[in-house]
């Protein structure tokens, strides 16, 4: 970890220091915060991001199929939100929580007009986060750096 002005720290991206480098920024993510929660081990973050990309590749279709079944939809929205929080995809986490809470407050509201904007926000946040994560994982693998 390297000090930066303002007293904050960021993961080292030097290849020679033994640490797997992480991106200084990733669209929709707070990488430094997530790596910090993972014992400041970039390799753990890369593993989690790789699992996020792999596990949630088909999530949009599964989620779309769950709409109308409040229990199934809430479960899928909760799962993606939990994974998002783990890897630092904060906007995706916030969007998932907003929809999950709305579904929880009124279980019969799956077709309520107020849910459409929440679903749209979640759909957009997922596309942004998953796309950025997928690209980062692919670039990391192309560079020969794969989390073990």
User: Mind listing the pLDDT tens digit for each residue in 46-96?
Assistant: 999 999 999 999 999 999 999 988 899 999 999 999 999 999 999 999 999
108 — pLDDT class (breaks 50, 70, 90) = low
Instruction: Give Cβ neighbours of residue 15 (< 8 Å, ≥ 6 apart).
Output: 21
The pLDDT mean for the chain works out to 85
Q: What is the pLDDT of residue 33?
A: 94
What's this model's pTM, rounded to 2 decimal places? 0.82
Which of 98-130 are b and which e, b meaning 16 or more Cβ less than 10 Å from the residue's Cβ?
bbbebbeeeeeebeeeebeebbebbeebbebbb
Least confident of 21-30, 90-99, 105-114: 105-114
25 — pLDDT class (breaks 50, 70, 90) = confident
141 — pLDDT class (breaks 50, 70, 90) = confident
Which of 9-26 are b and which e, b meaning 16 or more Cβ less than 10 Å from the residue's Cβ?
ebbbeeeeeebbbbbeeb
- Report which of residues 32 and 11 the model is more confident about: 32
Q: Torsions phi, psi of 146, nearest 5?
A: -125, 130
Secondary structure in 3-state letters for 17-31: HCCCCCCCCECCECH
User: Mind listing the pLDDT tens digit for each residue in 115-138?
Assistant: 999 999 999 999 999 999 999 999
């Amino acid at each position: 970890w390297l000090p930066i002005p303002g007293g904050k720290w960021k993961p080292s991206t030097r290849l020679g220091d033994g640490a797997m480098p992480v991106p200084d920024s990733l669209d929709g993510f707070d990488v430094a915060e997530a790596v910090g929660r993972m014992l400041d081990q970039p390799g753990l973050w890369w593993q989690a991001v790789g699992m996020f990309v792999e596990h949630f590749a088909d999530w949009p279709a599964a989620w779309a199929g769950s709409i109308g079944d409040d229990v199934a939809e809430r479960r899928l929205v909760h799962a993606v939100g939990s994974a998002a929080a783990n890897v630092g995809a904060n906007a995706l986490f916030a969007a998932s929580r907003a929809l999950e809470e709305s579904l929880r407050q009124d279980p019969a509201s799956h077709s309520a007009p107020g849910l459409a904007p929440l679903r749209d926000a979640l759909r957009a946040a997922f596309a942004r986060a998953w796309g950025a994560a997928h690209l980062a994982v692919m670039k990391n693998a192309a560079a020969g750096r794969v989390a073990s």
